[in-house]
Amino acid sequence: MTTALRRYPVLIALCVAALFMIIPLLIVALNAVKSPTEYSQNGPLSLPDGLYMDGLKDFWERVDYSQKLFNSLLISGAVAVCAVILSVLNAYAIGIGRIKGRTWVLAFFVLANMLPQEALVYPIYYLSKEAGLYDTRLSVIIVFTVIQAAFGTYLLSSVLGQFPREIIEAAKIDGANKWQILWRIVVPVSRPTLGVLMVFFFIWTWNEFLLPLVMLISNDNQTVSVALGVLQGQRLMDATMTNAAALLGVLPAIVFFLLFQRTLTRGIAVGAVK
């Protein structure tokens, strides 16, 4: 009885705290479907009278949101795939090949992952201009492939370091070369970990702000994050427009969250302590 009395207040407190976390998003959703007149009459806290979708539609057309979504999907998707491939190649040499000086190679990748992007951003901006890659989605894909692969290499190297050697030895006896062992054995067996990495790389790249802000200046190349951030920074939007923007920015994130929830939470646990 005493434990029952003790645990309900804890549950209630936790529920209140959880509600506090999602309330900002709920208010945004409420106000994104209000008409401007309704907003100015009743303020942000009232319930909407009906569904007013024009604000969302106006904003969508004004910023060409389909294009922004496409850019974000293209960039994040390409980075997720390329960075996983690069990570696997690196980790294969370090974790399974056990090349000489692997500790130093690994330290090199870890340090690269910890460098702040601020210390790379101007040279990358300058070099990409020289190379004719400035303001292209390709430039952002290349840069983030490398940055994400630094983390991927670190994580996968320790995973592949514990890969059962017997399997590889058996394949060698059967005459498989290193390339075949990598693609036919190591990659299929490590598929769960690679999946986690891919989800992470996708979402991290989707959320990136500084480098895309610097590199993607033309409207046709901007990602969702950059387009919304730049608009907000200029403070050109009224309240309804702001809410439409916020809601349209939140929705893809929530979709990914629901799709990948299990992968995400499991992945964090693996990534953090390995």
Partner 1 sequence: MTITVERGVTGKKTQAGPPRRPRDSYALFLLPGVLAFLAVIVVPFLMNTGVSFTDWQGVGSPGWTGLANYRELMDDSEFWASFRHSLFMVVAMAALPTAVGLVLAAALFDYVGKHFGSKTVAVLRACFYLPQVLPIAVAGIVWSWILAPTDGSLNELLKAIGLSSWQQDWLGDPDIALYSVMGVMVWVQIGFPLVVFMAGLQRVDPLLHEAAELDGAGWWSRFWHITLPQIRPEIYVVLTWCTIAALKVFGAVYVLTKGGPGGATNVPSYFSFTTFFEKTQVGYGAAISTVLTVIILALSLIGLKLQTRAEEGDGS
Distance CA 194, CA 202 (A): 12
Candidates 50, 100, 132, 165: give the one binding partner 1 (CB under 8 A). 100
Torsion of CA 93, 94, 97, 101, to 10 degrees: 110
Window contacting partner 1 (CB under 8 A); options: 52-60, 62-70, 179-187: 179-187
Candidates 164, 192, 220, 236: give the one binding partner 1 (CB under 8 A). 164
Min. distance of Cβ 53 from partner 1 in angstroms? 19
Type of residue found at 271: G
SS3 annotation, 207-263: HCCHHHHHHCCCCCCCCHHHHHHHHHHHCCCCHHHHHHHHHHHHHHHHHHHHHHHHH
What are the residues whose beta carbons fall under 8 Å from the beta carbon of 80, sequence distance 6 or more? 148, 198, 199, 201, 202, 205
Burial of 73 (0-12, 13-18, 19+ CB in 10 A): middle
Which positions from 121 through 150 interact with partner 1, judged by CB under 8 A?
Answer: 121-127, 142-143, 145-147, 149-150
Tokens of 33: 């479907």
Min. distance of Cβ 8 from partner 1 in angstroms? 9
Distance CA 232, CA 88 (A): 39
Q: Which run of H or E residues covers position 115?
A: none
The answer to the question of residue 207 lying near partner 1 (CB under 8 A) is: yes
CA distances for 122 relative to 134, 158, 226, 239, angstroms = 12, 33, 18, 35
Tokens of 28: 């945004």
The answer to the question of residue 206 lying near partner 1 (CB under 8 A) is: yes
Min. distance of Cβ 78 from partner 1 in angstroms? 14
The answer to the question of residue 189 lying near partner 1 (CB under 8 A) is: yes
The answer to the question of residue 90 lying near partner 1 (CB under 8 A) is: yes
Min. distance of Cβ 93 from partner 1 in angstroms? 4
Interface map 16-55 toward partner 1 (x if CB under 8 A): -xxx-xx-xx-xx--------------xxx----------
The answer to the question of residue 106 lying near partner 1 (CB under 8 A) is: no
Candidates 111, 192, 219, 220: give the one binding partner 1 (CB under 8 A). 111
Tokens of 95: 């974790």
Window contacting partner 1 (CB under 8 A); options: 50-58, 59-67, 247-255: 247-255
Candidates 59, 109, 154, 201: give the one binding partner 1 (CB under 8 A). 109
The answer to the question of residue 216 lying near partner 1 (CB under 8 A) is: no
Which of 197/245 has CB closer to partner 1?
Answer: 245
Which of 53/131 has CB closer to partner 1?
Answer: 131
The answer to the question of residue 213 lying near partner 1 (CB under 8 A) is: yes
Which positions from 60 through 89 interact with partner 1, judged by CB under 8 A?
Answer: 86, 89
Instruction: Say how many C-beta atoms besides its own lie within 10 A of residue 145's C-beta.
Output: 22
The answer to the question of residue 225 lying near partner 1 (CB under 8 A) is: yes
Distance CA 65, CA 248 (A): 9
Candidates 75, 84, 196, 203: give the one binding partner 1 (CB under 8 A). 203
